[in-house]
Structure 1
Amino acid sequence: MNKIEIRTVNVIQYVQPLREGGSMPAIVAADDGFLYVLKFRGAGQGKKALIAEFIGGEIARALGLKVPELVFMNLDDSFSKTEPDEEIQDLLKFSVGLNLGLHFLSEAITYDPLVGDVDSLLASKIVLLDSLISNIDRTVKNTNLLNWKNELWIIDNGASFYFHHNWKTWENHLTRTFPLIKDHVLLEKAKDLQTAATEITAVLNTEIITEIVANIPEDWLESEVDEMPTTEMRQAYVAFVNSRLSKIEELVKEAENAR
């Protein structure tokens, strides 16, 4: 297995805000010479959205799906001091420290389900990915998919793993499936779910999941409101994905029935 290596870069320029959705990410330049879409720790869903984005993105990558490179991004306090927009100024101020960046795909266009052509097996893998990570936000209204260089790329997994917003009840989710898959933008095209399940279980295992979760920055897990130790949080993420993997045949049937 290839070891997961996540680079850390420094933000050197705030280029422009992306005023789509509530979290207001931004295009920024980093000291490695590349542009990134920066997801802020100080945004609405905070660090938990970054955790979901990170785990979901790296699981997708492990499955061979196209995901922009994810990097940890250091943001210092100098940017908030020179930003004239008060809303952005506050966001920058509350996001000093380690954030999450996605490599910016220049000239990529949002996937349009009315005209987009997607291979059935690829659609099936993405549908099952979102069942595995409980992603409620890949719908017709918000596809969170990009077409770039004639390939389909996965972005924005921050609404996944929603159980972590209430750690007291997280274990209740271990026995559940994912009925909300009925709203998935690619469900109609996902006609090879059984083959996709076979390929997913052939490559995704506890070792890979554990390594992905081990790469979550410790301070993303730390919270003034969550009493659960961070070691137990990491174990919970692994246990949750494993529980979904063990029920993948149920997830296949659930998606087939919804389709």
Structure 2
Amino acid sequence: MNHITPELRTVNVTRYVTPLREGGSLPAIAEADDGFLYVLKFRGAGQGIKALIAELIGGEIARAAGLRMPEIVFANLDTAFGRTEPDEEIQDLLKASVGLNLGVHYLSGAITYDPTVKVIDPLLASKIVWLDCLLTNVDRTARNTNMLMWHRELWLIDHGASLYFHHSWQNWEEQAKRPFIQVKDHVLLPQASELESVDAEFRTLFTPERIRAIVSVVPDDWLTIIAQHGTPEEIRQVYTQFLVSRIAVSRIFVKEAQDARKSLI
């Protein structure tokens, strides 16, 4: 296998531990047959399979960028799983999620990143801001940072709100070249003073080959669910081309971020 292609493990979910009642997606902490705990993202949740695709692509791009991301695994849910679950809402969710779901390694003891307590290094902040501009991730604000402090290091979680072009799937070529105006609300924007150098580094790092390799790990099973947009391979090509096109014109979203930052400092 190509060395730039992520190698994701597949685990079987053995025990539902507890729900994480955040937003409308009802993720949960679950145990798998490898003995580890995972934050499980369900294919049958309200946000649907596209949130899992965004989580997978966004998380693995973050990892390729050298940022700290908990391990992502494919998590298989058996038809018999959850039959004894007393909560009807959760039981319905589990029934709708039989098959391949997404698990993110649970960081036990981690705490939510608080920008008033911990100031992030400008280079790291710039890398995260650049990443979220690329992915059009609208969910990294002071209200909901989607970052954790674990063993005194910053870890990224939850990229499910990324790649929002795929919710309409219209004019994606045009959307790929737009600035990311929501960057003005990014929790790390005030510290992101190294966007120029990060842009040069990441434009070299994220070649079309690397992006294609990351997108290639999205399962056919998930892409078949959004088959109205084409065959699995055609859909992968759209995700790949959206990101490749966005990187090619990264100066557009970098300038937007720099201009937004000037208004803050």
Q: Report the CA distance between 1:80 and its aligned residue.
A: 2.6
Structure 1 unaligned residues grouped into runs of 5+: none
Contact 2:24–2:47 (8 Å) recurs in 1: no
In the alignment, what sits opposite 2:39? 37
Preserved CA contact (<8 Å) 2:25 2:47: yes
Aligned residue among 118, 128, 131 for 1:129: 131
Q: Which runs of 4+ in 1 moved over 4 A?
A: none
1:36-74 Cα offsets, whole Å, 9 max, x none, are 000000001111000000000000000000000000000
The match for 2:117 is 115
User: Equivalences for 1:12-91 in 2 at 5 Å?
Assistant: 12-91=14-93
**CA–CA distance in structure 1, aligned partners of residues 226 and 253 of structure 2:** 35
Change (3 A) 1:43 1:201: same
- Aligned equivalents of 1:248 and 1:224: distance in 2? 28
- Counterpart of 1:154, as a letter, is L
Q: Pick from 245, 248, 251 the counterpart of residue 250 of structure 2.
A: 248
Report how far residue 226 of structure 1 moved: 2.2
Secondary structure in structure 2 of the residue aligned to 1:233 = helix
User: Counterparts of 1:162 and 1:2 in 2: how far apart (Å)?
Assistant: 25
Question: Could you tell me how far apart the structure 2 residues matched to 1:22 and 1:158 are?
Answer: 12
Distance 2:55 2:13 in 1: 19
Three-state SS of the structure 2 residue aligned to 1:132 is helix
Opposite residue 230 of structure 1, the aligned amino acid is: P
Could you tell me how far apart the structure 2 residues matched to 1:138 and 1:224 are?
Answer: 26
Residue 224 of structure 1 deviates from its aligned partner by: 6.2
Any idea what the Cα deviations from partners look like across 1:73-101, whole Å, max 9, x if unmatched?
Answer: 00012223110000100110000000000
Distance (Å, rounded) in 2 between the aligned partners of 1:224 and 1:244: 23
Q: CA deviation at 1:227?
A: 4.1
Q: Alpha-carbon deviation of 1:205?
A: 1.1
CA RMSD of aligned residues (A): 1.3
TM-score between the two structures when normalised by the length of structure 2: 0.94
Question: Could you list the runs of 5+ residues in structure 2 that have no partner in the other structure?
Answer: none
Paired residues of 1:80 and 1:90 also in contact (CA < 8 A)? no
Aligned residues: 259
- 2:165 corresponds to: 163
Distance 2:158 2:199 in 1: 22
3-state SS of the aligned residue for 1:167? coil
Q: Which moved more, 1:199-208 or 1:132-141?
A: 199-208
Task: Measure, in 2, the Cα distance between the counterparts of 1:225 and 1:59.
Answer: 24
CA distance in 2, matches of 1:157, 1:217: 17
In structure 1, what is the Cα distance between the partners aligned to 2:229 and 2:6?
Answer: 29
Q: Percent identity?
A: 60
Deviation at 1:2, TM superposition (A): 4.0
Q: 1:221 to 1:3 in 2, by over 3 A?
A: closer
Which amino acid is the alignment partner of residue 87 of structure 2?
A: D
Q: Measure, in 2, the Cα distance between the counterparts of 1:168 and 1:143.
A: 29
Instruction: Tell whether the 8 Å contact from 1:177 to 1:244 is kept in structure 2 after alignment.
Output: no
Partner of 2:231: 229
TM superposition score normalised by structure 1: 0.96
